[in-house]
Structure 1
């Protein structure tokens, strides 16, 4: 559909469009853990949350689905008030799980967390834990993200994907995890060649004029606090409105 990159320091706005068939699921290559579905059922809270989400999904009317890790999960905590303002009225549903990597999202999608759902839009932001846990190669993490897009479209072919660039990580621009996340983003932005995928890089919105990720936005240089969620919501709103068909 289109690729939208929010500009701050190093990024420049681009808009591309093409009309192609939805992306096929990425091939699950042996040896790439990012594309191989995996559960964390030994973690009691994770198993319980998964079961709760599966049960809720069966009866939920969902127009807007959020898929991700702890950064998405925390719309239920640090971002709760902002969620209530922006997303609760839009029949939004959150399947972000703290600590998840791409492989865990794949497992959850394969095991009922989208059962029966036909959301208008799915917001996907995942991959920073593939970086943080194992410094996984960018192309492997990107393949996992592509596989997630494929899973969503397998379950709900008409759902539009709003694919967010992996958020900045590490205080300074040269932090090794920031650099690796940027490499992931350089790959996944090409997925917007699919006419049902829009790419949006909000990363520069979180940075100061020197590219520094400040404590006011993300105190641990990874997880947004309330101010960071407000930045996220405001920056995403124009694109989200368009994808939802709102005026």
Structure 2
């Protein structure tokens, strides 16, 4: 008897270890690599469960109306995030000028983010209005999902230009229609807001929604507390999607390895999130599925107990190159195609492991 969920897994023994993280901050179309601090102590299983429950409640309590439109309103996290740490009276005139420049830069990034979001809302509305067909497959997420468009925060981005060709080869020429809706720098909270504010289809429900989100939530200390909160947030996204699109398959894509080597600081957190996503798929086999393509980014053999994250596949230790995205696409497209042609509830007919 095949497994009742589509838990396609290509994670190997390497994902049973911890790994070294580097956090990349997305600002005005540039990637700035920064060092991160040591991981905090792991919390116990019971505390982790409590963190999931509490974070889910917090997300639910601050959720926007589900059918709100993306053309109005500003996300709450945009306000007061630059100047809050310093009292204006304590600033010198030079520091005031620097703070003004920082705020202008901050808001320019916010403006670009909102432009991308509104563009996606318009694309969704236009597809439904044109012929009523909408999209068969939607890909939501962060910069890794935005790579499929060849852009970073909505602007053409050189390192991603060849990824757009991979998209054209694997997804743009299929009988089913697909649209990538990633925004660089997004965390789970941003994606949830986007879905609540116009990026979900209304009249034509897709057959499949694929999600890759969470790597930007797992930075800095990369604690298991942050992993629990990230997993809870992704499950809240799943809950919203299933509530609004009950006949749509939801395919959760695992958080990829990142950094120069594996194991290191963030892998415990990454593994915890991926484990929770896999368990969620097992618990909800009628509509939720899981796929992990991370193993292909690791070297074949460890050196000193650590695997290299292949530079050719992930040059900046976070974003897959076109070659890396081709590895993902070659395994992802058959999964998507199978789900497109499988009614909700019948996934066990072709479920397998990878």
TM-score scaled by length of structure 2: 0.61
* 1:131-178 per-position Cα deviation (integer Å, ceiling 9, x unaligned): 026736211100000011111112211110111111111121122123
Q: 1:244 to 1:115 in 2, by over 3 A?
A: closer
1:163-178 aligned within 5 A: 163-178=252-267
Q: 1:94 to 1:50 in 2, by over 3 A?
A: same
Partner of residue 153, structure 2: none
- Kept after mapping to 2: 8 A contact 1:123/1:161: yes
CA distance in 1, matches of 2:195, 2:54: 15
Partner of residue 115, structure 1: 201
Partner of residue 172, structure 2: 88
- Kept after mapping to 2: 8 A contact 1:101/1:130: yes
Q: Note if 1:150 corresponds to 2:239.
A: yes
Shift of 1:9: 4.2
- Structure 2 SS opposite 1:131: coil
* 1:10-58 per-position Cα deviation (integer Å, ceiling 9, x unaligned): 469xxxxxxxxxxxx997323x79x867566541110100111111101
Q: Note if 1:47 corresponds to 2:47.
A: no
- Kept after mapping to 2: 8 A contact 1:26/1:147: no
- Structure 1 SS opposite 2:276: helix
Partner of residue 223, structure 1: 319
CA distance in 2, matches of 1:87, 1:40: 34
- Structure 1 SS opposite 2:262: coil
Q: 1:137 to 1:11 in 2, by over 3 A?
A: closer
Ranked by relative contact order (alpha carbons within 8 Å, sequence separation 6 or more), the top structure is 2
Partner of residue 17, structure 1: none
Partner of residue 20, structure 1: none
| Structure 1: unaligned runs, 5 residues or longer | 13-24
Partner of residue 251, structure 2: 162
Q: 1:36 to 1:180 in 2, by over 3 A?
A: farther
CA distance in 2, matches of 1:53, 1:133: 30
Greater CA drift, 149-158 or 106-115: 149-158
Corresponding residue pairs, total:
233
Q: 1:36 to 1:240 in 2, by over 3 A?
A: same
Query: Which structure 1 residue ranges, 4+ long, deviate > 6 Å from structure 2?
Result: none
The structure having more radius of gyration, on CA atoms, is 2
Q: What is the root-mean-square deviation in Å for CA atoms of aligned residues? A: 2.6
CA distance in 2, matches of 1:11, 1:218: 17
Greater CA drift, 127-136 or 211-220: 127-136
Partner of residue 199, structure 1: 290
CA distance in 1, matches of 2:208, 2:113: 25
| Structure 2: unaligned runs, 5 residues or longer | 17-52, 65-74, 79-106, 128-133, 151-159, 343-349
* 1:94-118 per-position Cα deviation (integer Å, ceiling 9, x unaligned): 1111000000000000000113241
- Kept after mapping to 2: 8 A contact 1:26/1:150: no
